[in-house]
Amino acid sequence: MVSLASGHERRTSPWSQSRRRYLIATAPRPLDEIAELVAFFEARRGRLHGFRFRDPADFKSCAPSVQPAAGDQAIGTGDGVRKAFQLRKTYGAGGEAVARTIAKPVAGTVTVAVAGVVLAPGAFAVDVTTGLITLNTAPPAGAAVTAGFAFDTPVRFDLDRLDVTLEGFAAARVTACSLVEVLV
């Protein structure tokens, strides 16, 4: 964003969607829990390898307090031929709506409906590494395909070291642990 001398602004974005960032700090925790976090961090080699993270504010196809239902999110329209549909979550409505690709659904949470009829679990397959839904039978032309699901956000650590503060003989805290979304 650039502010002009006239007070107007010029706005551009290198990304079509936002990139989520998380800052996680801990209260004093037992040393065993801190050691587990340090081991996880080291196994990912700091920033090098990504992992799945459950965003407590945005991890379902619906509001966090509601259970996902097959009609939550529109993921496509049948044409009588196509069987594969990408999971996505839409934010906003109308011309300003943004559809986010969901690439990491949680296994066992995906429900799908075609024209409002919920499909049996065996009537479709879910790829939990890409978020691609493959129906056994192509939906008829014009039939709405919807889905409900829980999902994780692919992230990586955004730091090269963890700062651990000892809080006593048997407790410590991680002062701040920064995560950044990995766009897939």
pLDDT tens-digit series, residues 111-168: 999 999 999 999 999 999 999 999 999 999 999 999 999 999 999 999 999 888 888 8
The pTM assigned to this predicted structure is: 0.86
Give tens-digit pLDDT for 60-84: 999 999 999 999 999 999 999 999 9
180 close to 21: Cβ distance less than 8 angstroms: yes
- What angle is formed at CA 100 by the lines to CA 40 and CA 59, rounded to 5 degrees? 50
Question: Is the pLDDT score of 14 beyond 70?
Answer: no
Q: How far is CA 172 from CA 27, 29, 160, 168, in A?
A: 8, 6, 19, 7
Share the mean pLDDT of the chain: 92
Q: Scanning the structure block, which residue is given the tokens 């799908």? A: 112
Element (H, E) at 34: helix 31-43
Instruction: Write down the pLDDT at residue 4.
Output: 73
> C-alpha angle 47/19/153, rounded to 5°?
70
> Which pLDDT value is given to residue 25?
82
Helices then strands, counting H and E runs in the chain, come out as 1, 18
d(CA 76, CA 5): 45
